[in-house]
Amino acid sequence: MSTSWAEARKIAGAAAIPLPVTRVPLAQARGTVLAESLSALVDLPPFATSAMDGWAVAGPGPWRVTGRVLAGQEATRLGDGEAVEIATGARMPSGAEAVLRRERGYVDAHSRLHVGEKGDDQDGPNHGASAAATTAAAPQRFYAAVTSGTTATRTPRGAELGLPIGADIRPQGQESRRGETLLSAGTRVTPAVLGLAAAAGYDDLPVHERPRVALVVIGDELAGSGLPDGARIRDALGPMFTAWLDALGVEVTVSRVADDPRELLAVVASSPADLVITTGGTARGPVDHVHRVLAELGARLLIDGVSVRPGHPMLLAQYGGTRQHRRFVAGLPGNPLAAVAGFVTVVRPLLRRLAGLADTSHFLPLGDAVPTHPTDTRLVPVSVTEASAVPLRFTGPAMLRGLALADGLAVVPPGGGVVALGAGQRVEVLTV
């Protein structure tokens, strides 16, 4: 009956079908998953802009400064020998060929813009060849960055100092052309994705609906606040999984129920959620009712026990819903670290699939030897330091102290005849 860990993860990931597609405003899209690829609605940048504060110049200098253009403004065309003061991000005036950074030029008393530092050219405005000789003496450090990577096709005056055509201009479409695919379907909408989508012209995004999850924390012994007393302990799983589910971008409701099968049945049967997660009550103790309730509901068990330590009593059932919109119950064991094992094994793969995300895996070498279990997979809290996974202490099934310091859970496959995996062996690490 017990399913292997790898198989359980596969079953959970394959059981669901991605939720329907909806368009949501950017402000509500964080944490959802793109249902279609995202292509740029405009060139990025949409027009050539200045990359620096300074002057946009046209033709050979020195230039006559005719005005100023700020970000958001449009300027009139520049003719040869003209310049405008320009702000970073402002649209380049047509005719402008380069930007001279503020710290690399100066304007003299006659509104003439020169390359160099004031004082380089004590005789005032540049005139002909003698000026070139004067400015050529200007410190080269000003221009080193400008010259690299830009190709001059024509040389305005000042080019001998490194002001080639195109200098410090962000050309239209430099980051992306209109219609170019920026992100593929299945990408999680992160803050950075929201920024890119806005820049590319989007007001809303086509995403999969957020999975709805009902977290049902079972146990007479659990208190929601204050210090543990008598035989009662604090509910650790409610706060932990609420936050975790929230970070996965799902809609969560939480309820706490007593060790009472009627109460549990009523909560599960009446839930509209795509996935009900129960904690506790999965084993065969006197008040472990999850199996009985699922049987009464006529739920179909897809997973009933997994060969994994900790977490072996975890289960997954399909219950109600329609063919296109399935509903599930995941039963996580009550021991806190065992519950986390159930979360990463069945809950997360199922939710990722419902949300439209592909499953991913990361492998790292172990930083230390880890004992294997002969027949079961072990999930071992590890910290990731210098690209290796170091096993932690305080990782008993009822403990969270090790997990709270962990970056992931190392997947240690059944050992068979091998009692330990040595340092340096590569293992999959599940993020926590």
Ligand X SMILES: Nc1nc2c(c(=O)[nH]1)N[C@H]1C(S)=C(S)[C@@H](COP(=O)(O)OP(=O)(O)OC[C@H]3O[C@@H](n4cnc5c(N)ncnc54)[C@H](O)[C@@H]3O)O[C@H]1N2
**How far apart (Å, rounded) are the C-alpha atoms in residues 410 and 363?**
9
Burial of 320 (0-12, 13-18, 19+ CB in 10 A): middle
Give least dist CB 379 to ligand MOO, A: 10
Q: What is the CA radius of gyration of the chain?
A: 32
Stretch that binds ligand X, among 96-104, 170-178, 215-223, 300-308 (CB under 6 A): 215-223
Q: Residues, the chain, total?
A: 432
Q: Which is nearer to ligand X, 208 or 312 (CB)?
A: 312
Query: Is residue 217 at the binding interface for ligand X, with CB under 6 A as the rule?
Result: yes
CB of 342 to ligand X, least distance (A): 9
313 binds ligand MOO (CB under 6 A): yes
Rule CB under 6 A: say whether 261 interacts with ligand X.
no
Q: Of 269, 272, 275, 267, which Cα lies nearest the Cα of 250?
A: 275
Q: How far apart are CA 321 and CA 298, in angstroms?
A: 12
Q: With the CA atoms of 128, 129, 135 and 141 taken in that order, what torsion angle do they form, in degrees rounded to the nearest 10?
A: 130
Contact string (CB under 6 A) for ligand MOO, positions 374-403, x = contact:
-----------------------x------
Q: What residues are paired with 357 via a beta bridge?
A: none
- Largest Cα separation within the chain, whole Å, is 100
| 210, 312, 327, 352: residue in contact with ligand MOO (rule CB under 6 A) | 312
**Token output for 219:** 């146990």
Q: Is 338 an interacting residue with respect to ligand MOO (CB under 6 A)?
A: yes
CB atoms within 10 A of CB 414: 17
* 49 contacts ligand MOO (rule: CB under 6 A): no
Q: Which two tokens stand for residue 380?
A: 């071992």
User: Locate tokens 């519950």: which residue?
Assistant: 339
DSSP state of 232: -
- Pick from 32, 307, 335, 395 the residue near ligand MOO by CB under 6 A: 335
Q: Using CA of residue 255, residue 261, residue 267, residue 269, what is the dihedral sign?
A: positive
What minimum distance in Å lies between the beta carbon of 194 and ligand MOO? 39
By CB under 6 A, residue 249 contacts ligand MOO: no
Q: Counting contacts by CB under 6 A, is residue 280 touching ligand X? A: yes
> Taking a C-beta distance cutoff of 8 angstroms, is the pair 355, 375 a contact?
no
Q: Does 114 interact with ligand MOO (rule: CB under 6 A)?
A: no
Based on CB atoms, which residue is closest to ligand X, 16 or 341?
341
Give the whole-angstrom CA distance, residue 130 versus residue 64: 19
Which span (22-30, 70-78, 224-232, 274-282) binds ligand X, by CB under 6 A? 274-282
Rule CB under 6 A: say whether 309 interacts with ligand MOO.
yes
DSSP code, position 175: S
Using the minimum distance from each CB to ligand X, give the nearer residue, 101 or 312.
312
Q: Which does 309 bind (CB under 5 to 8 A by kind): ligand X, ligand MOO, none?
A: ligand MOO
Report residue 143 as tokens: 């221009």
For the CB of residue 315, give the shortest distance to ligand MOO in the complex, in Å: 12
Q: Which is nearer to ligand X, 164 or 313 (CB)?
A: 313
The yes or no reply on residue 342 touching ligand X (CB under 6 A) is no
105 touches ligand X by CB under 6 A: no
- DSSP per residue over 161-217, as a string? GS--TTTTEE-TTSSB-TT-EEE-TT-B--HHHHHHHHHTT-SEEEEEPPPEEEEEE
Type of residue at 330: A
Phi and psi angles of residue 10, each rounded to the nearest 5 degrees, phi first: -65, -45
The contact pattern for ligand X, residues 346-385, with x = CB under 6 A and - = no contact, is ----------------------------------------
* 304 touches ligand X (CB under 6 A): no
336 touching ligand MOO, by CB under 6 A: no
Q: Binding residues for ligand MOO, per CB under 6 A?
A: 309-313, 333, 335, 338, 397
Q: Binding residues for ligand X, per CB under 6 A?
A: 217, 219, 221-222, 233, 235-237, 279-283, 285, 288, 310, 312-313, 333-336, 338, 397-398
